[in-house]
């Protein structure tokens, strides 16, 4: 089943997070430079 698209614009698509996104989220949240700008990071 495809995730529900919440917002779609020419250069941006917002959708629900799915289990397939976990490797990418892990990479982002594991990066100290990215987390520098994340609340509580």
Residue 3 reports pLDDT greater than 90: no
Digit-coded pLDDT (tens) for 14-36: 989 999 999 999 999 999 998 98
Q: Is residue 29 part of a domain?
A: yes
In a domain, 19, yes or no: yes
pLDDT of residue 38: 84
* The model's pTM: 0.60
The predicted structure's pLDDT at residue 1: 59
Which pLDDT score, from 0 to 100, does residue 11 have? 94
Q: What is the 3-state secondary structure (H, E, C) of the chain?
A: CCCCEEEEECCEEEECCCHHHHHHHHHHHCCHHHHCCCCCC
The answer to whether position 22 is within a domain reads yes
Residue 16's domain comprises: 5-35
Residue 16 lies in a domain: yes
Residue 40 lies in a domain: no
41 belongs to a structural domain = no
Give dist(CA 41, CA 32) in Å, integer: 8
Structural domain total, the chain: 1
CA pair distance 29, 22, nearest whole angstrom: 10
For residue 12, with 0-12 CB atoms within 10 Å meaning exposed, 13-18 middle and 19 or more buried, which class applies? exposed
């Amino acid at each position: 089943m495809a995730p529900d698209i919440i917002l779609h614009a020419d250069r941006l698509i917002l959708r629900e997070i799915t289990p397939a996104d976990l490797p990418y989220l892990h990479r982002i949240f594991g990066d100290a430079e990215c987390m520098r700008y994340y609340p509580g990071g």
